[in-house]
């Protein structure tokens, strides 16, 4: 058995990853440690909750005693660290929890991994650590780190720490840096689900600045498959960029969603820009393609159709979310919009 500690497995990407892995592997024993912050949701994991190879613990990655207990009890040999505060706008509203979870939490996991001689530590990072591109060029693994938001700076700090643990202690750390994900179970604060849900509710669609910022989109299952390959074949001390070469301007995504849902562009509302808003992200994923044999499989239009369909069919899932604490965040972020 492969005894794997997955942190943040009740969030968007972590839950997609656990559902994906347990539907195809019976030699993984997964321990999912998640604090169940506003972004964690056990409803995402209904299909695996009775699986004998799945164990859930509610807890914080900064809790050393708990981490020690889990490593010992389950003879953990692999760690995949998804747990993070993940939303840029929230990091601008208040940054402390970002550094606590994303930096201190990663440190606690790395220290435990060192004590228990694990076989692989995968740090799930982001392309945002590279900063912002102008109209030309791509992020490669050699691009210098130049994070611009409290969120991305906390992720960059964790990356540097993880690489230092490899360099100093020979800890088998691998880092993945993926671009913007979309798909089922994504929390409604992020661009694509926010626009789908507001459209369905005939609410205004808040587009920051001029709407011309570019993101490079990847369907979440393509990301999960890349992580699976990195788990199997990724080399210690290496960084792998993950992206599906799908650059889109925000305004074009918003208009596409409006069109697919037969709504008028009049719902678009240009609002004050995000402070320090990165202009463009674009990933060069040649390394993972050439060295590990990964390639993206999902086409943007059809995966977006599937995602929209998922949000239409799973209204209960997001209605429960947007009627709770989320309303306070929405008001703080968007005022009376």
Note the residues at the interface with ligand DAU (CB under 6 A). 86-88, 126-128, 179-180, 190-191, 194, 206-208, 213, 215, 250, 274, 281
Choose from ligand NAD, ligand DAU, none: what does 123 bind? Cβ within 5-8 Å by kind.
Answer: none
Which residues make Cβ contacts (< 8 Å) with residue 234, sequence separation at least 6? 120, 122, 174, 176, 240, 292
Query: Where does this chain touch ligand NAD (CB under 6 A) — which range of 70-78, 173-181, 232-240, 312-320?
Result: 173-181
**Min separation Cβ 19 and ligand NAD, Å:** 13
- 127 catalytic? Reply is yes
| Residue (of 24, 114, 33) closest to 80 by Cα position | 33
**CB contact at 8 A, 191 and 252:** no
C-alpha dist (Å) from residue 31 to 78, 143, 267: 10, 34, 43
**CB contact at 8 A, 42 and 15:** no
Q: Report how far residue 207's alpha carbon sits from residue 151's, in angstroms, rounded to the nearest whole number.
A: 20
Q: Which of 99, 151, 240, 311 is catalytic?
A: 151
| Residue (of 10, 56, 11) closest to 30 by Cα position | 56
User: What is the number of the residue whose Cβ is closest to ligand DAU?
Assistant: 126
Choose from ligand NAD, ligand DAU, none: what does 7 bind? Cβ within 5-8 Å by kind.
Answer: ligand NAD
Q: Which of 127, 222, 247, 278 is catalytic?
A: 127
Cβ distance to ligand DAU smaller for residue 166 or 215: 215
**Min separation Cβ 181 and ligand NAD, Å:** 4
- Please select the residue that binds ligand NAD; options are 187, 219, 294, 298, rule is CB under 6 A: 187
Is residue 60 involved in binding ligand NAD (CB under 6 A)? yes
Q: Report how far residue 337's alpha carbon sits from residue 334's, in angstroms, rounded to the nearest whole number.
A: 6
> What is the Cβ-side half-sphere exposure of residue 243, based on CA atoms within 13 angstroms?
27
Cβ distance to ligand DAU smaller for residue 3 or 132: 132
DSSP structural state of residue 265: G
Is residue 184 involved in binding ligand NAD (CB under 6 A)? no
State the catalytic residues: 127-128, 151
């Amino acid at each position: 058995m492969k005894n794997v500690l997955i942190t943040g497995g009740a969030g968007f990407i972590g839950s997609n990853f656990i559902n994906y892995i347990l539907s195809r592997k019976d030699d993984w024993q997964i321990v999912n440690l998640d604090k169940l912050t506003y972004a964690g949701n056990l409803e995402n994991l209904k299909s695996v909750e009775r699986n004998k190879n799945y164990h859930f613990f509610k807890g914080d990655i900064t809790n050393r005693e708990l981490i020690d207990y889990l490593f010992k009890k389950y003879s953990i040999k692999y760690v995949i660290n998804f747990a993070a505060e993940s939303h840029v706008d929230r990091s601008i509203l208040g940054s402390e929890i970002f550094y606590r979870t994303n930096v201190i939490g990663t440190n606690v996991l790395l220290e435990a991994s060192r004590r228990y001689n694990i076989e692989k530590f995968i740090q799930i990072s982001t392309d945002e650590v590279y900063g912002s591109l102008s109209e030309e060029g791509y992020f490669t693994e050699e691009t210098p780190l130049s994070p611009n938001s409290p969120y991305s700076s906390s992720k960059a700090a964790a990356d540097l720490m993880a690489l230092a643990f490899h360099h100093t202690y020979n800890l088998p750390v691998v880092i993945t840096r993926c671009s913007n994900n979309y798909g089922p179970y994504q929390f409604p604060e992020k661009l694509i689900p926010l626009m789908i849900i507001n459209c369905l509710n005939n609410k205004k669609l808040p587009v920051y600045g001029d709407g011309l910022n570019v993101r490079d989109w990847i369907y979440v299952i393509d990301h999960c498959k890349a992580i699976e390959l990195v788990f199997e074949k990724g080399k210690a001390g290496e960084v792998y960029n993950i992206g599906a070469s799908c650059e889109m301007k925000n305004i074009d995504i918003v208009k596409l969603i409006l069109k697919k849902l037969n709504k008028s562009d009049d719902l678009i509302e240009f609002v004050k820009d995000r402070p320090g808003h990165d202009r463009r992200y674009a990933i060069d994923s040649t390394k993972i393609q050439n060295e590990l044999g990964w390639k993206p499989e999902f086409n943007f239009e059809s995966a977006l159709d599937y995602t929209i369909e998922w949000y239409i069919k799973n209204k209960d899932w997001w209605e429960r979310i947007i009627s709770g604490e989320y309303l306070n965040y929405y008001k703080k972020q968007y005022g009376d919009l």
